[in-house]
Amino acid sequence: MRENLGTNGLADQNVTILDPATGTGTFLLGIAERVREQVEATGGAGLASLALHDLARRMFGFELLVGPYAVAHFRLHRALSHRQDEAENTPPELPRLGIYLADTLARPNAEGALGSIGWMADGLRDERREANRIKNEQPILAIIGNPPYRRLEEGERETLIGRWMDDIWDDLKQPVKDAGKGGELKSFHEFSIAFWRWSIWKIFEADNAPNRGVVSFISNRKYLTGWTFAGLRKTLRERFDRIEIIDLRGDVRAGARAGAEGDQGVFNIQVGTCITLAIADGSKEDGALAEIFYRDSWSDMLLRRTSKLNWLQEASAEGSVTDFVGVNRGLLDDMRPEPFQNGEWLSLTEIFTFYKSGVKTGDDDNLVKTIQTNLEQSITPLIAHRDDTTYDVELERHYAYRPLDHRWFSMIQRC
């Protein structure tokens, strides 16, 4: 990312940084540590202290919860005040850190009602006022972090996302509707998608938007595939010049995969994650699409959490991840290499002469047995007494007259 931000990367005095869901400030702490190491390596501890003081004025964060907000202030103030000597170029006291108690996804300039909170009201107004200034006026070149991700339940869009955000992410839904896949949008409303859309707005659409920069998120990997988030993938490819994806897998909800049993996520959660680096540096021609480069942790059989974290730590020390694979696919397609099968295998509908999408009999006590003779004994009276001719025909065809072998019963027993 360093070469995309300026001559000195994150240490460049013109690079502004924002974590829109900063929590306790972990990602901003990582930036402070990287800047300190970078400057110390070339200029010593005194210059590193000056660089950290400069970083304090151009590094920002929004946090909605007061507890993490307070912790972030404490941790960052401690890290940015780092000194190893008392050289004459030791900087003065730090300015007020740019971490604000604010809702990133709220409409910019929305004052809202603060209620009867007494002496705290003025302080909260100041926080909101400065957060709105950053949203509307402050150019940001690097947006980083780990935004929250979970699917929003019915009724939560109004309270957790808000009408303004609901309006601006409609353009991520329209390409899916235009492709005739609007039914896939039922699971679209997800927190991390809202933060992706907000970041795109901040880089390209807000007042004083720089129209260049970097967005680097570790987020839900679900957006990489499927029709639901095809509109987001399309927008990312149209707006940015290069996209690098490090797929960390770890989606335990999907169950074990062949050759990848025991896969773990880097966080102690059910959802799989990926790291995405979206770069807008003006390098592509007008109308062209971003190049996509994909790296799969499974390629090196990195399944355990510790092995994935060690791999990322080594890549961090080197400054980059190697062995990316180019992804050359359609605008609405997945952001992963095309599967090797390519639809050439026989489908299940070609193999079986009869198939249904599912069966719910409501009579499992009679229709499900683990012993063939018992099954035949329970089905025979049903066939004899059913008035529904259609039911009789189907039941006879699939239960009474169809050969029942031991493999079928073994499968029932395992279930």
Residue 403 confidence (pLDDT): 44
pLDDT at site 116:
42
pLDDT, residue 189, reads 92
Q: What is the pLDDT of residue 392?
A: 47
Task: Determine the Cα–Cα distance for residues 252 and 273; give it in Å rounded to an integer.
Answer: 11
Residue type present at position 326:
G
Residue 367 confidence (pLDDT): 81
Identify the DSSP state of 190: B
**Low-confidence residues of the chain, pLDDT below 70?**
1-7, 82-92, 110-122, 258-259, 340-343, 357-361, 385-415
The pLDDT of residue 365 is 81
d(C-alpha 36, C-alpha 51), whole Å: 7
Q: Is 365 exposed, middle or buried (0-12, 13-18, 19+ CB in 10 A)?
A: exposed
Q: Say how far apart CA 304 and CA 122 lie, in whole Å.
A: 49
Rounded percentage of the chain residues whose pLDDT exceeds 70? 82
How far is the CA of 334 from the CAs of 59, 245, 289, 331, 337, in angstroms?
34, 12, 14, 9, 8
Residue 246 Cα distances to 120, 218, 243, angstroms: 43, 9, 10
| Tokens standing for residue 31 | 């930036």
